[in-house]
Amino acid sequence: MREHRHFAPKSGERINGSTRHGQAYYKLIRDWPKMPKGESLGVVSRVATDSQDRVYVFQRKDPPVVIFDRDGNYLDAGA
């Protein structure tokens, strides 16, 4: 999720727990993905978003794709 700032730190510089890469800021949110009970993510190979702010997590186990809303709530999984 992007955070907008009024200053321009150098790329990779950490500010208040956020990291800047290019024009976007990234902040770690621990325990963001809320998986169904007994499930966990495997090795994640990619993450993508769509125009409705759904987050697609591609992992190296079944199911290969897990879908979350922007708040990390589990929506669906599939091939």
pLDDT digits (tens, 9 = 90+) for 22-52: 667 777 888 999 999 999 999 999 999 999 9
8 — phi, psi (to 5°)? -125, 85
- With contact defined as beta carbons under 8 Å apart, do 45 and 61 qualify? no
Residue 29 pairs in a beta bridge with: none
In the chain, count of helices (H) and strands (E)? Answer: 0, 7
- What global pTM score does this model have? 0.69
